[in-house]
């Protein structure tokens, strides 16, 4: 291997056991170019090689280690390829071994009637046990086996090219034969190391790959997880601190006529304690000299829009304009109508802008907006376009923020020439606390965690096809009582064609029980033109249809207080947060509402059962979000894929919440003492943070 002051930077091809061809393969399959890259791919589990089992005790699905003799090998010609089979014997019985790739090489390597140590996973096919592609080592050459042999994520191409698990382990072992403690400089501050008694980086890397016992593995994992989350928090919090120092906000010093008149004369109900608390937090932000960047979380129906409206009125009281962005035209229209109605009589001009506003109307709107005649602009992504210019934009609100990309949200900052507007982002998708600390860690977070009084929790029931007739009877009773019903079908394998067929079939079956001469049914799906979709939704919202048959396009949609039943067909196909969002479409009036989850009576996966059980057990969006994150992992939750924050190698947001909180505590403590990390004790920490920033080059989370 070429000499280098730091072997971590060496190209992987110079490692013993790699070479040029394997290096190219590792680069293509794993994105690995250097030694540092490879040792940063951590094992996802460990095989226990200290225990041997007898063949008589093995069952399908077991990963086993057996000591025995290879007594036969046969090449079996099949269509297009030759496979290799063998018989393996120990004192208690026999088992068949199978190799589908590399038959010639394996046949030449293995020796008949020799004792081997075999490791593999047992399959059962038509009652017959086999072990495909076992790892085998001559017993005479095998060293005492460690209880912890690392298992790495692999690919089909690596296995085909004989870069299997044993080869990967050997390569990593060869790497550690040349690495020394001095090759791993300490990047954590001394005070953190002292307080937490963490192992050194060299120990952490060596022990995570080749631990001798559980203590070593645990120390290594804790160190690496903490380091990863600590630098993640440093990145996020430093951006926030620097923004607060450098970016001055518009100071809204007064709460005046518009706010007070609305509060005293127009508010249709008393605010909940949670709403009052959040309004107070927003007022404090906007009254300070710092630009507000606040995330407002609250379940469907918790009253986020009223809070946003009152925040906009504070901007208006101080001589500024406000805007509200929604992800769909129908939701933007709904906001426009409800806000216009709420502010009637206050002498305010509220305008609506979307792609469908064209020609003279559009030009006039742009002129009125620029001269300050329009106080509040409500609309879709169209607001972000360059021709849209405000006279003085003081507050920008985005609804269902995960539907807006980071670059799109950044455009809001440019709508004011001198000082960026205050930003309030709303979401009805509850985000677990630990996830909010990462994905939205540079935003201040407000939570509306109580529903307005008089709202009855939606009753959620799990039913199967056997209950269909009882459900039809219940639907007819609810319609007779003057209520409306949603029936939602899932997207099938993301195919709009199958999706439509599925919905069409359901609709036709429904007509057997609800004929069109007696009942009015609205139909909405993703392949309809926007105008037709809006017309059908408005028909349902206005009460001119008793049933709406739809795909998930209604997840974020019109507010229909009269809808009391949500029936979700094939509910097992939906994610938890989606089920929760759909359930939020009902229960908006004073009547008792129901959400009925329809599934097959058998064949549900473990995850599907957990989702259904959780929905029936609780209406708490934050509890549901925690379960969802545990079931799916943080990277799959809405809004996190685009954030660029969650590229974690070893830490897990769901299971490492305590480590996350500790990391955030130390990051806050250090940055409050030295925001730029310029003091001598943080030199190495700062250098490592700069390296991470350079590597990720991600946007700030909101701007």
pTM listed for this prediction: 0.68
Task: Quote the distance between the C-alpha of residue 68 and its chain's center.
Answer: 47
The pLDDT of residue 376: 97
Q: Which residue has the higher pLDDT, 493 or 328?
A: 328
From 299, 301, 364, 308, select the one nearest 624 (Cα to Cα).
299
Q: Which of 3-12, 50-59, 301-310, 406-415 has the lowest mean pLDDT?
A: 406-415
Element (H, E) at 218: helix 214-246
Q: Which residue has the higher pLDDT, 630 or 645?
A: 630
The pLDDT of residue 594: 96
Across 24-38, average pLDDT: 93
Across 377-403, average pLDDT: 88
The pLDDT of residue 571: 92
109-165 pLDDT, tens per residue? 899 999 999 999 999 888 889 999 898 888 887 756 667 889 998 888 888 888 888
Tokens for 679?
């003091």
- In eight-state DSSP terms, residue 34 is B
% of the chain exceeding 70 in pLDDT = 90
The pLDDT of residue 2: 47
Q: Which residue has the higher pLDDT, 78 or 318?
A: 318
Mean pLDDT is highest, among 72-86, 251-265, 421-435, for 251-265
Domains of the chain: 51-145 (2.40.50.140), 257-288+303-427 (3.40.50.300), 459-618 (3.40.50.300)
**pLDDT bucket at 366, cuts 50 / 70 / 90:** very high
Across 8-13, average pLDDT: 92
**Residue 700 pLDDT > 60:** no
Report helix, strand or coil for 619: coil
Across 416-438, average pLDDT: 79
The pLDDT of residue 27: 93
Q: Which residue has the higher pLDDT, 489 or 413?
A: 489
223-282 pLDDT, tens per residue? 999 999 999 999 888 888 877 777 788 999 999 999 999 999 888 788 999 999 999 999
Mean pLDDT is highest, among 292-306, 402-416, 645-659, for 292-306
**Residue 173 pLDDT > 90:** yes
d(CA 255, CA 260) in angstroms, rounded, equals 7
The pLDDT of residue 102: 78
d(CA 192, CA 186) in angstroms, rounded, equals 11
Bridging pattern class, strands 563-568 and 594-599: parallel
585-621 pLDDT, tens per residue? 888 777 899 999 999 888 888 889 999 999 999 988 8
Across 45-67, average pLDDT: 87
Q: Which residue has the higher pLDDT, 379 or 577?
A: 379
**pLDDT bucket at 646, cuts 50 / 70 / 90:** low
**pLDDT bucket at 364, cuts 50 / 70 / 90:** very high
**pLDDT bucket at 71, cuts 50 / 70 / 90:** very high
Q: Which residue has the higher pLDDT, 327 or 647?
A: 327
SS3 content of the chain, % helix, strand, coil (to 5): 45, 20, 35
The pLDDT of residue 527: 75
Question: Which of left, alpha, beta for 93 (phi over 0: left; psi -120 to 50: alpha)?
Answer: left
**pLDDT bucket at 408, cuts 50 / 70 / 90:** low
- Kindly report the average pLDDT of the chain as a whole number: 86
% of the chain exceeding 90 in pLDDT = 51
Across 378-382, average pLDDT: 92
Q: Which of 274-283, 409-418, 463-472 has the lowest mean pLDDT?
A: 409-418
**Residue 640 pLDDT > 70:** no
**pLDDT bucket at 382, cuts 50 / 70 / 90:** very high
Tokens for 362?
């559009």
Considering only CA atoms, give the Rg of the chain.
31
From 442, 423, 406, select the one nearest 291 (Cα to Cα).
423
Across 496-524, average pLDDT: 83
Half-sphere exposure in the Cβ direction for 367 (13 Å, CA): 6
Q: Which residue has the higher pLDDT, 573 or 130?
A: 130
């Amino acid at each position: 291997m070429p000499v280098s002051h730091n072997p971590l930077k060496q190209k992987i091809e110079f490692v013993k056991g790699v070479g040029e061809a394997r290096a190219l393969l590792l680069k293509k399959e794993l994105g690995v170019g250097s030694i540092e890259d490879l040792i940063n791919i951590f094992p996802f589990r460990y095989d226990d090689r200290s225990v041997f089992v007898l063949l008589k005790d093995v069952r399908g699905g077991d990963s086993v280690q057996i000591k025995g003799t290879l007594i036969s090998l046969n090449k079996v010609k099949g269509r297009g390829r030759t496979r290799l089979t063998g018989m393996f014997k120990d004192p208690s019985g026999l088992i068949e071994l199978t190799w589908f790739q590399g038959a010639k090489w394996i046949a030449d390597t293995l020796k008949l009637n020799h004792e081997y140590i075999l490791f593999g996973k047992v399959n059962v096919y038509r009652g017959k046990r086999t072990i495909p592609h076992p790892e085998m080592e001559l017993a005479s050459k095998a060293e005492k086996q460690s209880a912890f042999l690392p298992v790495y994520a692999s690919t089909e191409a690596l296995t085909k090219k004989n870069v299997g698990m044993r080869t990967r382990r050997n390569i990593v072992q060869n790497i550690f034969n040349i690495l020394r403690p001095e090759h791993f400089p300490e990047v954590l501050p001394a005070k953190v190391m002292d307080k937490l008694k963490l192992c050194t980086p060299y120990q952490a890397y060596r022990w995570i790959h080749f631990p001798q016992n559980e203590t070593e593995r645990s120390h290594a994992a804790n160190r690496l997880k903490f380091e990863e989350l600590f630098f993640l928090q440093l990145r996020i919090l430093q951006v926030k601190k620097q923004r607060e120092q450098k970016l001055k906000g518009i100071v809204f010093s007064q709460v005046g006529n518009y706010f007070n008149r609305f509060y005293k004369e127009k508010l249709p109900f008393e605010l909940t304690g949670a709403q009052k608390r959040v309004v107070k937090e927003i007022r404090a932000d906007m009254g300070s000299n710092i630009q507000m960047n606040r995330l407002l979380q609250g379940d469907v129906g918790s009253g986020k829009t009223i809070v946003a409206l009152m925040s906009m009125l504070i901007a208006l009281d101080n001589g500024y304009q406000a805007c509200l962005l929604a992800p769909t035209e129908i939701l933007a229209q709904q906001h426009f109508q409800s806000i216009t109605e709420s502010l009637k009589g206050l002498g305010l001009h509220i305008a609506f802008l979307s792609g469908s506003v064209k020609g003279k109307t559009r030009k006039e709107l742009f002129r009125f907006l620029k001269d300050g005649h329009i106080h509040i602009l409500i609309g879709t992504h169209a607001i972000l376009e360059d021709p849209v210019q405000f006279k003085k934009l003081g507050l920008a609100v985005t609804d269902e923020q995960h539907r807006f990309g980071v670059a799109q949200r950044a455009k809001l900052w440019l709508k004011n020439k001198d000082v960026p507007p205050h930003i309030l982002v709303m979401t009805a998708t509850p985000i677990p606390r630990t996830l909010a600390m990462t994905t939205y860690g540079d935003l201040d977070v407000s939570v509306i965690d109580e529903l307005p009084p008089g709202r009855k929790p939606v009753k959620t029931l799990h039913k199967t096809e056997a209950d269909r007739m009882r459900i039809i009877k219940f639907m007819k009773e609810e319609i007779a009582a003057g209520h409306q019903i949603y029936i939602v079908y899932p997207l099938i394998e993301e195919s709009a064609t199958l999706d439509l067929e599925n919905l069409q079939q359901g609709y036709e079956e429904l007509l057997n029980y609800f004929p069109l001469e007696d009942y009015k049914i609205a139909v909405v799906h993703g392949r309809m033109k926007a105008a037709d979709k809006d017309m059908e939704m408005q028909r349902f919202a206005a009460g001119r249809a008793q049933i709406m048959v739809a795909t998930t396009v209604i997840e974020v949609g019109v507010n229909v207080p009269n809808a009391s039943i949500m029936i979700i067909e094939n509910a097992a196909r939906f994610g938890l947060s989606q089920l929760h969002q759909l359930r939020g479409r009902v229960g908006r009036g004073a009547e008792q509402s129901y959400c009925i989850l329809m599934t097959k009576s058998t064949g549900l996966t473990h995850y599907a059962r957990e989702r259904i059980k959780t929905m029936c057990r609780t209406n708490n969006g934050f509890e549901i979000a925690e379960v969802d994150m545990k079931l799916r992992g943080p990277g799959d939750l809405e809004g996190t894929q685009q954030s660029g924050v969650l590229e974690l190698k070893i830490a897990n947001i769901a299971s490492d919440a305590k480590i996350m909180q500790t990391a955030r505590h130390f990051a806050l403590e250090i940055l409050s003492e030295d925001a730029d990390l310029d003091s001598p004790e943080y030199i190495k920490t700062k250098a490592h943070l700069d390296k991470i920033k350079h590597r990720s080059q991600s946007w700030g989370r909101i701007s």
